[in-house]
Structure 1
Amino acid sequence: MSESAPTRPLLNLDALFDNPVFAGGFGLASLGAVLAFARRGAISTVGLIRRRMLVNVEISRQDPSYPWILAWLSQPREQTSFLARRLTRINKLSVTTTTSVTANGPTRASFFLQPGYGRHVIKYKHAYIVVSREKQATAKTNTGEPHETVELTTLYAHRHIFEDVFTEARALALQAHEGKTVVYSVRNFDWVPLGEPRRKRPLGSVILDEGVKERIVDDAKDFLARRQWYVDRGIPYRRGYLLYGPPGSGKSSFIQALAGELDFSVAMVNLSEIGVTDDKLAFLLTKLPERTILLLEDADSAFINRRKREADGYSGGTVTFSGLLNALDGLSAGEERIAFLTTNHIELLDPALIRPGRVDLMVHIGGATRYQAAQMWDRFYGDVDVDGAYRERFLKRLDELELFGEAKEGQPVTRTSTAAIQGLFLFNKNDMDGAISMAEGLIPPKLEAEQ
């Protein structure tokens, strides 16, 4: 019987590792794996340390505090230490330019420098803050404007410094608007300031008929003082006013003066403007800036467009009647809001609009009365017409022209406007005799033709 042949191993490991090609490749692969593992571990360790030691605050451009922070970052800061002066030097800036027309005519430009896109370091009090301003790849679908963010990073131990940052930025924004009224208008689906903030208009500069101005001001102040009263009774905390009367009677001027008196802003929407639809108005009301009077002009235009929404969602080029009602007391109406509606044609308004809860106070602001003419004369010429002799001559001339008729249905009848009287006085700034002699020009041409 023959002996069986010895079995041969399938793989000679010693020979394999003795092979220089294999050994070198295995060594490199092992080294690469170790380095990759070490890199991953280092990244994880750094990330853990970062999460433990640093804190971030991200501010989106859609947040109201975004412009406050940019303005705060633009403030000069005196650094005493050598390290602080070198680390906190901002070399990349962006500029925002605003223009306005001065009283003498030429255009005045204001340049606002702020940190540009990228990373910056600032020192605030005892903390260093890394500022990262970035423009995102995404954009608003309705405007195409890219999203932006500002991220503030500091040590976790200094995290409480952010409260001071936002408080100081807010105070800086209020200081910049102190003594001024911000007027917002609609741009696409956003509220944007209409030029630079305007100097607050004194209530005394708006001359309404006797008692009218005081009635509205007292009512608005009473409303603002009774917030808890509304809450306790489950009543929506909002107030609606309707000012109606002919053009040039001072409706819009009074609202601007009231905003200054209450320290509010004004957000204007012209309801007759093409493109201001129901959905757009409802969306804008959800984003109404705080402490802002909502001004809806030309309310009667909504009654012209009573067209119902069609299957494709189209409801006309302007706000509809139902859209206006929803804006006043629907889900989008919001709370803590003062709204003013103005119209030149109250006869076109529907009773459903002017019921309490939508319009709480209706006030007629009509043409100029004898009382208003006298008050306006004193405002323009009171410093030179001390004894009022010229004022009496002026009022007598207006009586001769029969500009003021007998009251009908509780409303005085007039043939001129306060805007026309103001125009007369502006043309004769230093000439009282000229204002009296030109008083006949206060009669509108149409009425002159009818005489």
Structure 2
Amino acid sequence: MITMKNRKLKLYTNNPSEDWWKSSKKKWSSITFEHPARFETLAMDPKKKEEIIDDLIKFKTGKEYYANVGKAWKRGYLLFGPPGTGKSTMISAMANFMNYDVYDLELTTIKDNNELKRLLIATSNKSIIVIEDIDCSIDLTGKRKEKKDLVYNSKYFGPVESKVTLSGLLNCIDGIWSACGGERIIIFTTNFVEKLDHALIRRGRMDMHIEMSYCSYEAFKVLAKNYWNVESHDGLFPIIEKMIGEINITPADVAENLMPKSIGEDFETCLKNLIQSLENAKKKAEKKAKEKVEDEEAQLKVEEDKQEFTKENKNVLSLLD
């Protein structure tokens, strides 16, 4: 295990280009990054967590390797999964583990590819560049030409259309400009991985694809340890283990139930609240499944009626002939 030296980390966000003329530092604004997330407290399958940690360590210690194979010293991670599954928390845990600053890149405020390039050049080594919800940030697939992403980059001229393109982004993260600096991590997050252009997330650009899934029993035990310093409960843990294996619930929803709502609320009460939430989720899922079946049956009946109507009309016409 490598040791990361502690220092005050920074969280950066990009400014509109109208401010850049004042100072080169104005490309980014920053605050102290103080998120407490650590891998030890991350609600995730332990095996998957270890794989991510091992990958980060290999990257951190891989300067000579990257030079030998002729690649820029950077690594891409794609975090995907439903809302509430811990994508932002994962980024914070990565930053704290690596002792890297975080650059939160908001694509919708960027005027064009040149502006994007200047922003990325202005980032430091030993940093994580994050584009959250990339499928919503800007039109990168080329399939939604009718939509306009407007950037308010001038108080005098008002909004202009954002001209950041898929090829422009790819050139910045994987082209010749990606070699300007080293020891950088690039992270994309999305709730809908199927919406992304394959060229954007192929191996070599997003080197590791990490699915942030619904809460597993192992992840629940991590949360129980985090919130209550409890590792077992003979009566209720087995019930939760069974239910959580059958019902989709996010780590965020589990954490909400484990957090006491009043001074007198104890651990057992929180577990019972979680079980009730799981039961409610199960009923909701069953109702949704039933409605889906009913809708499909209704649609099938409509199609059958159409076919019957067409058949009857053909018979009538044949009699008239």
Same fold? TM cut 0.5:
yes
- Closer, same or farther in 2 for the Cα pair 1:316/1:210, shift >3 Å? farther
Shift, 1:318, TM fit? 6.8
CA distance in 1, matches of 2:111, 2:258: 37
- The one-letter code sitting in structure 1 at the alignment partner of 2:168 is G
Does structure 1 residue 187 correspond to structure 2 residue 34?
no
Partner residue of 2:58? Answer: 222
Cα displacement (A) at 1:432:
1.6
* 1:338 and 2:166 matched: no
What does residue 121 of structure 2 align with?
286
**Could you list the runs of 5+ residues in structure 2 that have no partner in the other structure?**
18-26, 147-158, 290-321
Change (3 A) 1:305 1:361: closer
Partner of 2:197: 350
- The whole-number CA distance in structure 2 between the counterparts of 1:371 and 1:205 is 12
Q: How far did residue 378 of structure 1 move?
A: 2.1
Alignment match, 2:73? 237
* Larger mean Cα displacement after TM superposition, 195-204 or 440-449: 440-449
> Is the alpha carbon distance of 1:433 and 1:200 closer, same or farther for their aligned partners in structure 2, counting shifts above 3 Å?
closer
Q: Distance in 1 between matches of 2:268 and 2:121?
A: 54
- CA change 1:304–1:358 in 2 (3 A) is closer
Question: Which residue number in structure 1 is paired with residue 133 of structure 2?
Answer: 298
How far apart are the structure 1 equivalents of 2:40 and 2:163? 36
Distance in 2, matches of 1:449 and 1:349, equals: 31
Q: Within 5 Å, give how 1:383-422 maps onto structure 2.
A: 385=230, 388-389=232-233, 393-397=236-240, 399=242, 402-405=243-246, 414-422=247-255
Matched, 1:202 2:38: yes
Q: What SS does structure 2 have at the residue aligned with 1:389?
A: coil
What is the Cα deviation at residue 316 of structure 1? 4.1
Q: Return the alpha-carbon distance in structure 1 between the equivalents of residues 250 and 111 of structure 2.
A: 30
Point out the structure with the larger helix share: 2
* Native 8 Å contact 2:111 2:161 kept in 1: no
Higher relative contact order (CA 8 A, sep 6+): 2
State the partner residue of 2:296: none
Q: What is the CA-CA distance between 1:260 and the residue it aligns to?
A: 1.0
Partners of 2:199 and 2:86 lie apart in 1 by 26
Task: Report if the CA contact (8 A) 1:374-1:395 is conserved.
Answer: no
Structure 2 CA distance for partners of 1:446 and 1:192, relative to 1, 3 Å: farther
What SS class does the counterpart of residue 367 from structure 1 fall into? Answer: coil
Q: Is the 2:79–2:212 contact (alpha carbons within 8 Å) kept by the matching residues of 1?
A: yes
Q: Give the partner amino acid of 2:228.
A: Y
How many pairs are equivalent? 254
For residue 427 of structure 1, give the secondary structure of its aligned residue in structure 2: coil
Residue 398 of structure 1 and its aligned partner are, at CA, apart by 5.6
Report if the CA contact (8 A) 1:367-1:416 is conserved: yes
TM-score where L is the length of structure 2: 0.70
Q: Any stretches of 5+ residues in structure 1 without a counterpart?
A: 1-176, 309-313, 406-413
Q: Does the C-alpha gap of structure 1 residues 395 and 419 become closer, same or farther in structure 2, counting only changes over 3 Å?
A: farther
| Counterparts in 2 of 1:212 and 1:180: CA distance versus 1, 3 Å | farther
* Cα distance change of structure 1 residues 288 and 274 upon mapping to structure 2, 3 Å threshold: closer
**Offset at residue 328 of structure 1 (A):** 1.7
Whether contact under 8 Å (1:300, 1:345) holds in the other structure is yes
In structure 1, the residue matched to 2:222 is 375
In structure 1, what is the Cα distance between the partners aligned to 2:10 and 2:42?
Answer: 19
- TM alignment of 1:16-415, pairs within 5 A: 178-189=6-17, 190-193=27-30, 195-198=31-34, 200-271=36-107, 273-275=108-110, 277-301=112-136, 302-303=138-139, 306=142, 307=145, 316-317=161-162, 319-333=164-178, 334-336=180-182, 337-382=184-229, 385=230, 388-389=232-233, 393-397=236-240, 399=242, 402-405=243-246, 414-415=247-248
Q: Which has the larger radius of gyration?
A: 1
